[in-house]
Amino acid sequence: MTVADKTVLITGASSGIGEATARLLAQRGAKVVLGARRKDRLDTIVNDIVQGGGQAASMALDVTDRQANEDFVAFAKKQFGGVDVVFLNAGLMPNSPLSALHVDEWDRTIDVNLKGALYGIAAALPEFTGQRHGQFIATSSVAGLKAYTGGAVYGATKWGLRDLMEVLRMESAQEGTHIRTSTIYPAAIKTELLGTITDKQTLADMNKTYDSYQIDPERVAQVVAFAIDQPEDTNVSEFTVGPTIQPW
């Protein structure tokens, strides 16, 4: 199967990598289902896609709500008849030194980045298991490959996501359910991610890095499309994506 005619669910789809991916996949013939908290923004993106001749739908989604993830899958099935790919893209990065003790932000980061992905998997996995095909793609980070000061909790969620996706792939192979997984590790990508940082010094440092290096989210969208476009008997597990000039 190729990208064309696949139904692809995208979380965190109201901006950045999620939005860029929705637009690109729709251009290539996929039926895209967008989920995020900002429904007005989703509606604008869907309207653009439909006006351009593509197929798209959206619903408000809080990935930290388990029932909402199940409703999202049900909505996609009602709109387009099935589910082929789930792009687990929603995420927060409120980085800060551990000594700052932003414990509420730690909780929120774990809830969105890790539990949100788990809930998305739980919602779609029965569908994929029953139909004996499907694909999960997750946005991790280069912080899921190496440690960075100020990013302990964020990095922990992204390292956890790496293990989660790999074990899911292995178990699917053992169980014969033919579910593919891909994990993407972006470096500095132009998104709204820095908007979640409240620690002033951390924000200043991150802004300096991103102002120097960031590339457009369309670059990551192209990688997502590549992963989906592989033959069903081929799994490409990991992609690290970032600016050529960034020493990440």
| Residues designated catalytic | 154
Q: What gap in Å lies between CA 210 and CA 194, rounded to an integer?
A: 9
Cβ pair 51, 106 in contact under 8 A? no
Burial 16-53 (b: 16+ CB within 10 A, else e): bbbbbbbbbbbeeebbbbbbbeeeebbeebbeebeeee
In what helix (H) or strand (E) does residue 173 lie, and over which residues does it extend? helix 152-175
Q: Tell me the backbone φ, ψ of residue 43, rounded to 5 degrees.
A: -60, -40
Q: What gap in Å lies between CA 63 and CA 81, rounded to an integer?
A: 22
Sequence-distant (≥ 6) Cβ neighbours of residue 4 within 8 angstroms: 28, 29, 30
Sequence-distant (≥ 6) Cβ neighbours of residue 233 within 8 angstroms: none
Cβ pair 165, 183 in contact under 8 A? yes
CA distances from 67 to 8, 37, 62, 120 (A): 19, 14, 9, 10
Q: What gap in Å lies between CA 188 and CA 134, rounded to an integer?
A: 29
